[in-house]
Structure 1
C-alpha cells in the first residue's frame, strides 16, 4: 500500500535529484518514519532549494530527541540534525524551556515546542562559538532542522569522550573545566546536560548537544551547573586527580562555597 508519506518522499527524492543533490545510503535515509515526516521533508526540500545541501548521507547518531546525518555543502562536510516532531520527549524539553525568557510565549503544541527547541540549540551554539568554545559551527536553522559543522574525519564522527582513548586525561579534564567556566562567563550559559556522552574527543575537545542549555537567569541554572560539574568529576575521578566540586563551582561563578543547590 502506497501512503501519502511514501508519495511525498518519492517526490522529494526525484526533485532533489533533479537539482543535483545526491543521497548517500538511501535506505538509512528512509527507514525512520518518525524522523522523515511531512514537516521534515518539506523543510529539507526548502534547504535543498536554497542550495544549503548538496549531499545527504547516512546516520551519524541517534539520540533521545534527534537524529544526526552526514551531509555536504559544495563538497564541505556538514551535519544535518533533525529533531523528531512525533517522538521527541515533549515533557523533558519543557523543563529546560520554562524559565528561558528567550522563548516565552511559544505556544503549547508539540510542533511549536520542537521548532523552538531547535532554534534554542542554534542560538546556544552561536553564543558558545562566539565565546570561543569548540562546538559544532551553527550554520542554518529551519523549523526542526539544524545544519551544523561536521566534527570528524573521513565522514566518520569523532568519538564521544566515553569511548575515546585519552592521551593526557589530566589535561583533558582541565580543558573541560575551563570550557565550563568560559561557557558561564563568556557565553552566559550553563550546558545543563554535560557528560561523557555530550563531549566529543578528536583533534580537540568539543561540546555538543546544547538544546537544553540555559541562560544564567534560568531558575534552575545553578542546579544544572552543579550537576554538570558532578558528571565531569565522576567520569574523570578514576583517570586523574579532580578538583573539589565546590571549588570548581566557586571558580566558575564567583559564588562563595556556602551555596547549597
Structure 2
C-alpha cells in the first residue's frame, strides 16, 4: 500500500504541475478545476479497488456502504485485519490515507456494531456510538488528552478513532507492566479518573486491565456516562473497585474502593445502592472484557468473528 500511495502521489503532483493555471482567464481556471475533480475521482476509485472489500466481513448493505464511504472521505486508505471483537461489535484496523498519515501514523480503529431487525435496538446502538464519539471529543478538545483515542468519524453504527498500537498490533495491557512501574501507574490512573469526573463531568464506567494499554492509554469508552447520569455513581464505584483491587493484588499500597470513591467525589457518605457494585460485577467484567475492548486483538480465529456478522 505504501508503494502504491507513493506512486499515486507522484502521478497526482505531476498532473497538478501540468495543469497549473497560466493566466487569470476564468474559463481556463474552470476547465482546470473540472479536470482536477475528474483526476481526484479516479484516484479515489483506484484506492477503493486496492482496499480490501468491506463486503468480505459479511456486514449488511447499509454498513458496507458506510465503510466504502470511509475511503471516499479519506478516513481509511485500506482495511486490514479484525483486531478486536465484542458480543455485538468488531474492530477493523484501517490504514490511514496519506493526507492523515502524519497525524495517525499507526492507522485507525474502525469499530462496527452489528445491527438487528429491531428499530429500538438499532437506535440504542446509534445513541451509544454518538455518546462515545461525543465523550472522546470532550476529552480531546477540553482536556487535550493524549491518553485517549482521537475521534475521527462516526455514522450510525460505525465509529472511527485513532488506533492505539504498533504495526497493526494492539498495545499491551497494563497487566504486562513490570513491578517497579506499578506505583507510578496507580497514581496516574487515579489522577485521570479524578480529572475526568471533576473537570469534564465524565466517568469511564468500564475500566479493566484491557482498557488501559501501553502504560498510559485509556480505551473502550462505549460505556462512559456523564456525572449526572442515573447510573453514574455505580459506574464510578465499579471503576474504583477495579483500580483498587487490581493494584492491591500486585502489592501496591492503595486506597480502598470506598476511600477512592470519596476522594474523587468529595462525599462523606455513600449510598447503599452504590455499594451494591460487588466483586461479582468485577468478575463478570473480567470475563467479558475480551468482548468489550475496541482496540484489543482477537484471540479467536478471524473467520469465526466474521461469520457472526453474516446476514
Name the TM-score class by shorter chain. 0.7 to 0.9
Comparing both structures, which one devotes a greater share of its residues to helix?
Answer: 2
Residue 135, structure 1, aligned to residue 163, structure 2? no
Deviations, residues 68-96 of structure 1 (Å, cap 9, x unaligned)? 11112224212111112249xx9xxxxxx
Which of structures 1 and 2 has the larger relative contact order (alpha carbons within 8 angstroms, sep 6+)? 2
Please say if residues 16 and 48 of structure 1, whose CA atoms lie closer than 8 Å, have aligned partners that are also in contact.
no
1:58 counterpart (81, 97, 100): 81
The answer for the alignment partner of 2:253 in structure 1 is 241
Offset at residue 160 of structure 1 (A): 2.5
Deviations, residues 138-194 of structure 1 (Å, cap 9, x unaligned)? 111111111111111222110222355565111111111111111101221111111
Q: For 1:109 and 1:194, how far apart are their aligned partners in 2?
A: 27
The answer for the alignment partner of 1:38 in structure 2 is 61
Please say if residues 82 and 92 of structure 2, whose CA atoms lie closer than 8 Å, have aligned partners that are also in contact.
yes
Please say if residues 44 and 71 of structure 2, whose CA atoms lie closer than 8 Å, have aligned partners that are also in contact.
no
The answer for the alignment partner of 2:181 in structure 1 is 168
The answer for the alignment partner of 1:148 in structure 2 is 161
Q: For 2:163 and 2:124, how far apart are their aligned partners in 1?
A: 25
Residue 221, structure 1, aligned to residue 244, structure 2? no
Offset at residue 238 of structure 1 (A): 1.8
Please say if residues 54 and 71 of structure 1, whose CA atoms lie closer than 8 Å, have aligned partners that are also in contact.
yes
Structure 1: state its 5+ residue gaps.
1-14, 91-107
SS in 1 for 2:80: strand
Q: For 1:196 and 1:42, how far apart are their aligned partners in 2?
A: 34
Residue 80, structure 1, aligned to residue 110, structure 2? yes
2:268 counterpart (252, 256, 260): 256
Offset at residue 19 of structure 1 (A): 3.6
CA RMSD of aligned residues (A): 2.5
Offset at residue 217 of structure 1 (A): 0.9
Please say if residues 90 and 112 of structure 2, whose CA atoms lie closer than 8 Å, have aligned partners that are also in contact.
yes
Offset at residue 23 of structure 1 (A): 3.0
Q: For 2:186 and 2:55, how far apart are their aligned partners in 1?
A: 40
Offset at residue 32 of structure 1 (A): 4.5
Structure 1 outlier segments of 4+, above 6 Å: none
TM-score calculated relative to the size of structure 1: 0.76
Question: May I ask how many residue pairs the two structures share in their alignment?
Answer: 221
Please say if residues 246 and 257 of structure 1, whose CA atoms lie closer than 8 Å, have aligned partners that are also in contact.
no
Offset at residue 225 of structure 1 (A): 0.6
Residue 18, structure 1, aligned to residue 37, structure 2? no
TM-score calculated relative to the size of structure 2: 0.65
Structure 2: state its 5+ residue gaps.
1-41, 102-106, 275-311
SS in 2 for 1:57: strand
176 and 147 in structure 1: CA distance in 2 versus 1, 3 angstrom threshold: same
